[in-house]
Amino acid sequence: MPAPVPAHPKGKPGTTPEALLRRVYPPMLATLAAEVPAPFSDWSFELKYDGFRALTGIASGRVALWSRNQLDLAPRFSAIASSLRELRAREAVLDGEVAALDAKGVPRFGLLQEGTHPLIYFVFDLLWLDGDDLRARPLEERRQLLKQVLAKAPPDLQLSIEITGDHVRWMKQAAAKGFEGLLAKRKGSTYESRRSGAWLKLKARHEQELAIVGFEPSTAAPKQIGSLLLAYAEGRRLIFAGKVGTGFTLAKRAELFAKLQPSVSAVPSAENAPRMKTAVWVKPKLVAQVEFSNWTSDGMVRQASFQGLRDDKKPLEAKKE
């Protein structure tokens, strides 16, 4: 059993939360998988949350909340940052996902854009605690210590939900309820600052981050987009992946039109981009989250719906999954 959280933490005075986060970056990433290698008893399972990956540093009475690309998320999620200051730890680094819940309690990435729904920081790992680097410790020990840290946390800070029983049945239930899927983590594994096969993501629905490489103007209103033109990354190249024309509010269509104007380009930045009379190509600077039915045989997203912008991701991180 791991040692309990000390009543008088031994964290080093003067350490900043930003310095703690730099010690552990980059965060561990999961590998997409269609199934989990047998035996299933070697794996633990958690619900996968459709939100913003966020790592927290706590030190010297201060909190830093960073995206995986070290963007400062504290101003955007100020209530979460305020709750984190109440945790009983002099020094800590937490890993988790900030999610917005719909009326049924299901995380929806698109709701993060609206800013009108309850936000929960689902924490799934503890990397540092009061002077001790925990990354080399087994998964189960880190989670047990995390439970202690979150024992009296405010309600918007929650431990990620661990799945027990048949994970295949849970996947079906997750798909039916609208959850993104499950995360499988190899028991006894350490925390690695890279994409690792010790963490597997099992998706219950098709969702993808794609670079925005252009748009088609709306035919119904001026200064609005009608659809976004998309691409995925292969190394340093972008490959055209089709377009998305649904899932936008009128306000979002106008907002995207304005955002893309400074990036207009005479030529497409994506390979295999078709000749389109109505296309306005842009330099890739923004990333869209898109839900879709499937990939077509020629590599296009089919029946795509816009979920929101991923300002925590860069275009060349939008790999085809």
User: Which of the residues are catalytic?
Assistant: 48
Rounded CA-CA distance 211/314 in Å is 8
Q: 3-class DSSP state for residue 28?
A: coil
Q: 3-class DSSP state for residue 308?
A: strand
Q: Are strands 132-133 and 119-129 parallel, antiparallel or unpaired?
A: antiparallel
How far from 152 is each of 6, 146, 167, CA to CA, in Å? 15, 11, 29
188 touches 138 (CB < 8 A): yes
Residue 149, CB half-sphere, CA atoms under 13 Å: how many? 31
Residue 272, CB half-sphere, CA atoms under 13 Å: how many? 14
281 touches 265 (CB < 8 A): yes
Rounded CA-CA distance 41/55 in Å is 29
